[in-house]
Structure 1
Amino acid sequence: MKFSRFLLSPLLMLGLLASSASYAAEPLKTVRIATVAYSNAGKITFNGPTYLMDKDPWLKEQLAQRGVELQWVPAATASVGTFVNEEFANKRIDFAFYGDLPSIILNASGVATQLIAAGGIGNNVYLVVPPDSTATSIDDLKGKRVALHRGRPWELSFAKLLESRNLAFDDFRLFNLNPQAGGAALSAGRIDGLFTLSDAFLLEDKKVGKIIWSSKQAPLDWKMRAELFGAKDFIAQNPEVTQLVVDAYLKALKWASQDEHKAEYIALLSQSGQPQSVLLREVQGEAWKDHFSPLINATLRQHYADGIAYSLQSKLIRKDVNVDNLLDDRFVKQGLKNLNLTEEWK
């Protein structure tokens, strides 16, 4: 497969060829942050911690004191990777919350970004089969029809599952389907398995699928990840503003991680259209606070190192990415000190 197939569009390539004018060419006027957004009752609703960052006036006020405007850039879930990569390449955003594989592909293309705060322990992924299937593991689906949305962050989780069982992509009849289309195909009996996100619980609730494996049974670095990334040039030239963005993110994580706010936070997440019962099952059996850890630690480093290796092996990228250059933990460390949260996450 060509690495341009998924996340490097002609618009991105134009951005790579565009002028490399410095972020510092003129005084900073706007900070632009891309994040997943949903349409809810005709209004745009941001996802997760960014919803809290938007509602809390702190970041907006801090930037305004410095003559800088805060601008949120909504990204649709169906195309967030491609959209964010194009925006970074064309210098239309400064920060973004998004997943691992797209960010690796972007950096391999020559557009330098850095991961400046982690997105918790990650989200779980699930292997779902029809309710009458006799399959009990990925091994039982060898040679059969399996749907996977290629180029999205959970492809790496799927690859790790296969590797652990000495299987390869070629051992399956793979269909490149997003979770919605994959769910419909499973319901109609057109596929024998679906590798997907927490929508797996909806398929079980509708009695059109059953979960036979989840990443809750696997090491932490198998989970699907999304983090806070920043344009490397912008970070270098605007460290004070970068610190403000990270501090605002940490403030949101602290609030959300408290047990007394769990019900309210789950209710906020459900505005995306995902039922609260699904959201609660997604985190069941896992420490609530861990889902909001911003720490750039060994587990996260291993996840991205594995992601880079997989991307090279599968030819999603042609150029290596230095994982240590990709990760920058300075701002989280300082932010935890600024907010007296150094003992909050370990």
Structure 2
Amino acid sequence: MKRREFLKLSLGSAAVAALSGRASAEGGVKEIRIGYQKNGVLVIARQRAILENHFKPQGIEVKWVEFSSGPPLMEAMNVGSIDYGAVGDSPPIFAQAAGAAIVYAAAQPIINGSGILVPQNSAIAGIADLKGKRVGFTKGSSAHNVVIQTLEKAGLTYDDITPVYLTPPDAGPAFGNGSIDAWAIWDPYFAIGETKQNGRILVNTSEVTKTNSFYIANCDFANNHGRVLQQIVDVTSATADWAQAHPDEVAKSLAAVTGVPLDIQTIAAKRAGFSVAPISADIIATQQGVADRFFKLGLIPKQVVVRDIVWRNSQT
């Protein structure tokens, strides 16, 4: 039976650990530190203890570290504080430009669950109306890319808006009290803005651009513990397959781990797409386009070649 098929059959039970007969002498790994945000497959894996069940027989513990957005998660990974984590498309580009010790381990195509919100009573009716407006988003996050490509779609430039760099916890209140005119954000904050802060969707990301989120690993961890990293990716992928078929249970898992209300996480879960994929040539090309755009705008200090930090497992 293939590794992934076995995972699917045993997902959520201790039997998943039988996937590999490798001993805990896997390069001396005793602990895997995983960075996560308030959404996505890793939250589900944490709530259901999927990785813990898999690695316990190998004598490897799993530690979870929460982050509010991708940029600080990348900083932690660069200094070796975490080994693996999930982020949007932009954080690894900024990190690579800064020389961070990271690699792309896997990808997840984004279908829904992010975009730009404006207040219900806002005079902003279309993308072109963003000209001269204060647009809030997290610098270096996937929302940063969404803003740039949305502006391009309407023939606007980055200089046509006033970017207001805010973390999601700070941007929510700013949006609610009118300190910013629009908010580029992802779920579950996207759903919170819609339902709790009187937001109206100006544009969904899928209407503007093709985008991906990524599973990133610390470079040293990937180079030294490729077999362990492959197992993490396989478990992540199997968890995503389960999530795709169980949106209601996904919402409960997300709410339990993050503290975000169930009704909000239900909205997010039912419009999300869960599918973990290898880093294909098409995904690399899409990501390279994002990197080139950031460099052209002067948002990163040097050009980067995405392909250079795509992990290829040599420990098979």
Output aligned runs, 1:1-346, within 5 Å. Answer: 27-36=27-36, 47-51=42-46, 54-55=49-50, 57-64=52-59, 69-77=60-68, 80-82=70-72, 84-121=73-110, 124-198=113-187, 199-206=189-196, 208-221=198-211, 225-258=212-245, 261-271=246-256, 272-282=258-268, 290-328=273-311
After superposition, what is the alpha-carbon deviation per residue over 1:293-323, rounded to whole angstroms, capped at 9, x for unaligned? 3243355223311221133223333233222
TM-score, structure 1 normalization: 0.71
Q: Deviation of residue 53 (structure 1)?
A: 6.6
CA shift in 2, pair 1:207/1:322, >3 Å: closer
Q: Deviation of residue 118 (structure 1)?
A: 1.5
CA shift in 2, pair 1:27/1:274, >3 Å: closer
Q: Deviation of residue 159 (structure 1)?
A: 0.8
TM-score, structure 2 normalization: 0.77
Give 1:3's aligned residue.
none
- Structure 2 gaps, min length 5: 1-25
AA aligned to 2:306 is V
After superposition, what is the alpha-carbon deviation per residue over 1:4-24, rounded to whole angstroms, capped at 9, x for unaligned? xxxxxxxxxxxxxxxxxxxxx
1:131 and 1:207 in contact (8 A); partners too: no
CA shift in 2, pair 1:296/1:329, >3 Å: farther
Task: Tell me, in whole angstroms, the C-alpha distance in 2 between the residues paired with 1:127 and 1:37.
Answer: 19
CA shift in 2, pair 1:107/1:31, >3 Å: farther
1:31 and 1:94 in contact (8 A); partners too: no
Q: Deviation of residue 116 (structure 1)?
A: 1.3
Q: Deviation of residue 120 (structure 1)?
A: 4.2
AA aligned to 1:32 is I
After superposition, what is the alpha-carbon deviation per residue over 1:55-103, rounded to whole angstroms, capped at 9, x for unaligned? 4544323532xxxx2332403215x522x33333333333222333222
Give 1:340's aligned residue.
none
Q: Deviation of residue 265 (structure 1)?
A: 1.2
1:126 and 1:196 in contact (8 A); partners too: yes
Task: Tell me, in whole angstroms, the C-alpha distance in 2 between the residues paired with 1:122 and 1:30.
Answer: 36
Percent identity for Structure 1 against Structure 2: 22
Runs of 4+ aligned structure 1 residues displaced above 4 Å come to: none
SS of 1:91's equivalent in the other structure is: coil
1:62 and 1:244 in contact (8 A); partners too: no
Q: Deviation of residue 27 (structure 1)?
A: 5.0
Task: Tell me, in whole angstroms, the C-alpha distance in 1 between the residues paired with 2:259 and 2:61.
Answer: 27
Task: Tell me the number of residue pairs that the alignment of Structure 1 and Structure 2 aligns.
Answer: 286
**More displaced, 107-116 or 117-126?**
117-126
